[in-house]
Amino acid sequence: MRGGVIAALLVVLLAGLPLAVWLDLRYVTRTELDTQAKALSTAITGIRDFYSSDVAGRVQAANGHAVVTAQYQSVTGGIPIPATFSLDLGDVISSGQSNVGYRFVSQFPFKFRKPHKMDSFEHRALSAMALSPSQTMRDVSYNGFNTRVRYVTPIIMEQSCVACHNADPNSPKRDWKIGDVGGLQELSIFEPIAPSVFSFRYLLLYFLLAAIAAISFFILLNRQRRELAEKNDFLASISQQLSHYLSPQIFRRIFSGEKNVQVETERKRLTIFFSDIKDFTATTERLEPEVLTSLLNHYFTAMSTIALEHGGTIDKFVGDAMLVFYGDPDTKGPAGDAEACVRMAVEMQAKIAELDAEWRRAGIEEPFRARMGITTGYCNVGNFGSEDRLDYTIIGGEVNLAARLESIAEPGRVVMSYETYALVRDVVAAHPLAAIRVKGISRDVVPYVLDGLRDHATVVISEHAPGLDVFVDVNQLDAVAAARARAVLENALAALGDSEGRSG
């Protein structure tokens, strides 16, 4: 609402700019013309009065017998020569004006006059005009909020001027020639800037309103930006929390808009992984709930990290069981998905063996041992549920088969179907078991026990019993560590031999 009002005000202000400029220009024009008219009227009145009293009046008083002289005021019927007329006229004009001045300047004033004080501009002007009598000069100066314009023109000596000045004994220079520059006349106009600035009252009012509107708009925009940032932070926090409930691949696709959140599924060829913990029920009876919860979360965190590193989509955790599949939403093709799944399972078993030793050192007598099953086949994958509550998962007989393969696996081993083995037989070593029947699958299923990867010989020895605690991961041993492990095992074998000899 506030944004709409400010936007409407901005539109009105933009529309009012031409009107404000027109009103101000009309006002400035009227004011300037009025000021100039008053100044010229005063100047003309002063000239008329001066001419009436000092020229015409003096001639009339002398009954028509006039004498042209520089000292006309002391001579009956005397009227001023042009230079004197200009000097006195300057005093008349300047005395009646505050913003208009007139000045006659000569380098050679008559002896009874004070020397004319000239500034640098007037000296430069006289020097320049002496060389080029036809030119004029202008000077503009600024003093605070005031402007002064000075306009000078040369005074050219004519026949009457030359005759008068060369003959008058008061003239300091008596060799004048026609065309010489006898001096200069200067018209100066003084204009205060402040009144001119405030003449644009409508425009200033417009800018004031525009500034208020702009400031209000930016304040509102900044407030909305902060509110939006807070909402974004809140949504980022919520999305971060929601990400823990979804597989990262699904989470990214939903929040990037690549995947619609609606009830829909499709049939795809997937590789399915299923695992659970051997004798988990018995373990829950031995451990306190807090210890069991910490242990289980530690286990699932390690397994999830490995699954995500290999590109698996984590479907769900059901008690101690874990369901992961490959082929949706990202896929490397059937063979690539199957290989990634098998490599994930091998790394998981190695990690569990490593955790087994760690948990035993922490006081857990019988840590987790996992069984794993893998199969490849067609399943329905997508969003299942209602319009209000959805679950991204897979359904089909292959899911049951993966669970059945897991159930026949030995603790610490991986069992896969022939369909998976056929896709990865070049990269794994495996041996078959007797065929089994699985509910919901019409064919006989031949399980294959994974012995290891052909390009990565995985040798992990993990055995625990009263008086026995052995964990060896050959892949993590360098030459020095391998020699040490060999010596420890040889000493253990020798000790066992001695113990058997004494008991025999």
pLDDT tens, N- to C-terminus, the chain (504 residues): 555 666 666 666 666 666 666 565 555 555 554 555 455 445 545 564 565 566 656 665 666 667 766 676 777 767 776 667 777 766 666 665 667 777 778 888 888 778 878 888 888 888 888 888 888 888 877 776 667 778 788 888 877 778 777 888 888 888 888 888 888 888 777 766 556 556 666 666 777 777 777 787 778 878 888 888 888 777 777 766 665 666 666 666 666 555 565 657 789 999 999 999 887 777 777 778 888 888 889 899 999 999 999 999 998 888 889 999 999 888 999 999 999 999 999 999 988 888 887 777 766 767 778 999 999 999 998 888 777 777 788 998 899 999 999 999 998 899 999 999 999 998 998 999 998 887 777 778 899 999 888 876 555 565 656 666 666 666 667 778 778 878 877 787 777 776 665 665
In the chain, CATH 3.30.450 covers 97-198
Alpha helices by DSSP H, listed for 52-154, are 57-61, 82-95, 120-131
CATH number for the domain running over 266-458 = 3.30.70.1230
pLDDT at 462: 58
Total-model pTM: 0.52
In the chain, CATH 3.30.70.1230 covers 266-458
Cα–Cα distance, 413 to 15 (Å, whole number):
81
Q: Please count the CA atoms within 13 angstroms of the CA of 290 that sit on its side-chain side.
A: 0
Cα–Cα distance, 438 to 405 (Å, whole number):
9
Of 224, 312, 325, give the one whose Cα is nearest residue 269.
Answer: 325
Question: Residue 64 region, left (φ>0) first, then alpha (ψ -120 to 50), else beta?
Answer: left
Judged by DSSP in three states, 129 sits in: helix
Q: Please count the CA atoms within 13 angstroms of the CA of 92 that sit on its side-chain side.
A: 20
Cα–Cα distance, 19 to 206 (Å, whole number):
10
Fold annotation for 97-198: Beta-Lactamase (3.30.450)
Give, in degrees to the nearest 5, the angle at Cα 309 between 307 and 310.
70
Q: Token pair of 336, please?
A: 């690539």
Cα–Cα distance, 93 to 186 (Å, whole number):
12
